[in-house]
Amino acid sequence: MLDPDEGIGVDGTIVTGVARERVPAIFEPTLRAITASMTEGTLYLYGSVATGQARPGVSDLDLLSVGPGPVLRDAPPGLVRAVEVSVSSPEDLLGEGDEAYGNRVFLRHYCVLLAGPDLSAGWPAFKADALAARGFNGDIARRAEAWREALQRGETQGLARKMARKTLLALSGLVSVHDGIWTTDRGTAARVWSQVRPELAHGLEVLVAWSEESGTPSSLEIQKIMDEVVSPIVDDFRSVVGLWS
C-alpha cells in the first residue's frame, strides 16, 4: 500500500511513515507469536503493516531477520495474504559497497524493530539521492539477466510477478532521481514514467497488473515485456542512477 508519508525531509533525508505505534492492533497477536519463536538474532517488520496502511486479508506480512529467522512463519487464515520472511546476516550491512549501503538505508528508514538488538540504533538519517536509489536497485541489470536465463530454461512459474515487482521498484528509484523526489511506490513510478516515456505506458500497465496478480503469463508475453519494457528501464537506470559494479 502507498505510504503517504514517504518523501524527502527539509534536510534532504528520506522520510517514511514507518513506526511501531502505527502497526494495526489486529496484527499484534501474530507478531507476538512469531517473535516468541525466535531464539537469537534480530527481527524487523517492514511494508504496509509497518506504516499502518495494511488491509487485513489483502496485504502481506513482511519480515526481515538479521541472523537466524523465527521458527513460526504463519498467520491465522484470512489475516494476511502471506507471511514473507527475508533472512540476512550482520555482514550484509558492512562495507562501502552499494549493496551494503542500500541495506543500511532500508533498515534505517523502512524497518520497525520487533525483537533483538536494534542494529540501526544511532545511525543518522540517509539522504534521498542517487546513492540510496542505486543501493536499493542497482542490481536491476543482474536481475534482468537472471530472468532471461530462467525464461530460457522454461521456468515461468512466478517469474512475471517477480520481474514486475523488482522492475517497478527499480523504476521508483529512477523516477526519484530523475524528478528530485523520493518514492518506492510502484504505481507512482509507473504513472510518472509513462509521462516521461509514453511509448512504455502500455507495457508499464502490464507490469503493474502482473505485480499485483499471481497468474502465469505465457513465455512469449514475458519475453515481449522483457524486451520492450524491462530492457529500456535497465538502460535508463544505468544512465540516470548507475548500476552496481
- pTM value is 0.93
pLDDT tens digits, one per residue of 105-136 = 999 999 999 999 999 999 999 999 999 999 99
pLDDT of res. 35: 96
Q: Place 144 in a pLDDT band, splitting at 50, 70 and 90.
A: very high
Same domain, 118 and 33: yes
pLDDT at 168 over 70: yes
- Dihedral sign of CA atoms 221, 227, 229, 231 in order: positive
Q: Is residue 1 part of a domain?
A: no
Q: Last residue of some domain: 128, 149, 179?
A: 128
Q: Is residue 245 part of a domain?
A: no
Give 93's DSSP letter.
G
Q: How far apart are CA 35 and CA 150, in angstroms?
A: 35
Same domain, 21 and 110: yes
CATH label of the domain that carries residue 86: 3.30.460
Q: How far apart are CA 73 and CA 243, in angstroms?
A: 34
Mean pLDDT of 159-164: 95
**Mind giving me the DSSP string for 146-172?**
HHHHHHHTT--TTHHHHHHHHHHHHHH
Q: Last residue of some domain: 93, 128, 163?
A: 128
Same domain, 162 and 181: yes
User: What is the rounded average pLDDT for all residues in the chain?
Assistant: 96
- If one counts the domains in the chain, the total is 2
Q: What angle do CA 86, 69, 40 make, to 5 degrees?
A: 140
CA atoms within 13 A on the CB side of 178: 18
Same domain, 16 and 120: yes
Residue-number span of the structural domain to which 39 is assigned? 7-128
